[in-house]
Amino acid sequence: MDTVSVENEVIMADDGIVKPVAGGRATIDRDNRETVGDVTAKNPRMRCREVSVFYGEKQAIHDVSLDVGSNEVIALIGPSGCGKSTFLRCLNRMNDTIDGCRVIGDISLDGDSIFDTKMDVVQLRAQVGMVFQKPNPFPKSIFENVAYGPRIHGLTRDKTELEAVVHTSLDRAGLLDEVKDRLGEPGTGLSGGQQQRLCIARAIAVNPEVILMDEPCSALDPIATARIEELIDELREQYAIAIVTHSMQQAARVSQRTAYFHLGDLIEIGETNQVFTNPHHQLTEDYITGRFG
Ligand SMILES: Nc1ncnc2c1ncn2[C@@H]1O[C@H](COP(=O)(O)OP(=O)(O)O)[C@@H](O)[C@H]1O
Ligand SMILES: [Mg+2]
């Protein structure tokens, strides 16, 4: 998929024409919508190939190919409406729940197509968990919020095992110490940052492989945001994480790879540091320097 490569101050476009690069930076035709950069991950958990999404007649995602790898955080950035949430929702078939939404292309989890008729979508959404912008605990106790998933998926044999899973999940989500003496109280009574960590604990409780986060900190204050960012870094040891963020600072702090979307196209993907300090596509540069978006 790598259609443009930057080497030694020259750039080879896929038409074979070598163009000089000013200051080592590729100046690429802004109408070129082929993805720049390496879409593959070292240890891919999920692979998306030529994924397009339509809402009715309107195409929201155009031929996007991208891997989400083990033990990495990939940040999806780009101006509002560029398709970040739509793309994220492809990964656990959440778009199935939207009337008139159609997804085409190939998406696999550990080599198995998520569109296979044998794929159990409820199971898929446990393996590929999701955390939303606004914390959305169930109107139940803290304990029940976390216990719900393991119970419906039959992951535990008895009460002792269930309690252990709830405790471990709250602990991994960095919330246990704050709530262990009031597990019976409503989840909705927690602070915003605690509620978001509760939602992360709920996702973790069903043994996911991938965790999707759609602007998980945008409703939180800076202290709660910092706590979630630390947590994301810890969770990376065990999970593959894809996070949508409108904050470039957050993308720079938490992610190892960054994907820049523009009007439904994946414009550029690369190491986060490279994308922010030496973007290879003009549109990426326009966005990160604040000229656009
Ligand atoms: N449920 C929907 N029905 C119709 N169009 C939608 C729906 N959700 C998103 N879109 C459209 O798809 C495009 C991408 O939206 P979205 O994925 O929400 O972008 P982002 O998350 O980057 O802001 C936008 O043009 C948006 O209006
Ligand atoms: Mg969005």
CATH number, domain with residue 246: 3.40.50.300
87 vs 19, which has greater pLDDT?
87
Task: For the sheet with 257-262, list strands across it.
Answer: 128-131, 210-214, 240-244, 73-77, 257-262, 265-271
pTM: 0.89
DSSP 211-231: EEEESTTTTS-HHHHHHHHHH
| Residue 41 within a domain | yes
The arithmetic mean of pLDDT across residues 183-212, rounded, is 97
Q: Which ligand has the nearest atom to the CA of 261?
A: 1
Residue 16 has pLDDT above 50, yes or no: no
| Residue 194 within a domain | yes
- As for how many domains the chain has, the answer is 1
Give the per-residue pLDDT at 91.
Answer: 98
- For residue 98, the ligand 1 atom closest to its alpha carbon is 1
Give the per-residue pLDDT at 210.
Answer: 98
Residue 9 has pLDDT above 90, yes or no: no
97 lines ligand 1 (CB under 6 A): no
Give the per-residue pLDDT at 176.
Answer: 97
53 vs 24, which has greater pLDDT?
53
| Residue 20 within a domain | no
Confidence of residue 291 (pLDDT cuts 50, 70, 90): confident
Residue 273 has pLDDT above 90, yes or no: yes
Residue 58 has pLDDT above 70, yes or no: yes
Strands 265-271 vs 257-262: parallel, antiparallel or unpaired: antiparallel
39's CB contacts (< 8 A; 6+ apart) are 1, 2, 65, 66, 67, 266, 269
84 lines ligand 1 (CB under 6 A): yes
| Residue 9 within a domain | no
Give the per-residue pLDDT at 286.
Answer: 95
The arithmetic mean of pLDDT across residues 278-289, rounded, is 95
On average, the pLDDT of the chain sits at 91
Q: Running DSSP on this structure, what letter comes out for residue 127?
A: H
pLDDT digits (tens, 9 = 90+) for 149-188: 999 999 999 999 999 999 999 999 999 999 999 999 999 9
Give the per-residue pLDDT at 33.
Answer: 81
The percent of residues above 90 in pLDDT, for the chain, comes to 87
98 lines ligand 1 (CB under 6 A): yes
214 CA to centre of ligand 2 in angstroms: 7
| Residue 148 within a domain | yes
Give the per-residue pLDDT at 47.
Answer: 98
160 CA to centre of ligand 1 in angstroms: 43
* Alpha-helical segments (H) within the chain: 84-90, 121-127, 142-152, 159-172, 176-179, 192-204, 222-235, 248-254, 272-277, 282-288
Give the per-residue pLDDT at 105.
Answer: 98
172 CA to centre of ligand 2 in angstroms: 26
- For residue 82, the ligand 1 atom closest to its alpha carbon is 22
- Name the CA radius of gyration of the chain, rounded: 20
Contact call for residues 64 and 265 (beta carbons, < 8 A): yes
Q: Running DSSP on this structure, what letter comes out for residue 29?
A: -
Q: Which ligand has the nearest atom to the CA of 99?
A: 1
Confidence of residue 27 (pLDDT cuts 50, 70, 90): low
| Residue 118 within a domain | yes
Query: 64 pairs with which residues across the strands?
Result: 51
Q: Which residues surround ligand 2, an ion (CB under 5 A)?
A: 85
Give the per-residue pLDDT at 79.
Answer: 96
87 CA to centre of ligand 1 in angstroms: 10
190 CA to centre of ligand 1 in angstroms: 30
Confidence of residue 98 (pLDDT cuts 50, 70, 90): very high
Query: 268 pairs with which residues across the strands?
Result: 36, 260
Which domain, by its residues, includes 115? 33-288
C-alpha 31/C-alpha 252 separation (Å) is 26
Give the per-residue pLDDT at 20.
Answer: 39
Residue 134: which of 210, 73, 47, 198 has the closest Cα?
198
| Residue 260 within a domain | yes
Encoding tokens for residue 161? 């095992």
55 lines ligand 1 (CB under 6 A): yes
Report the nearest-CA residue for atom 16 of ligand 1. Answer: 83
| Residue 12 within a domain | no
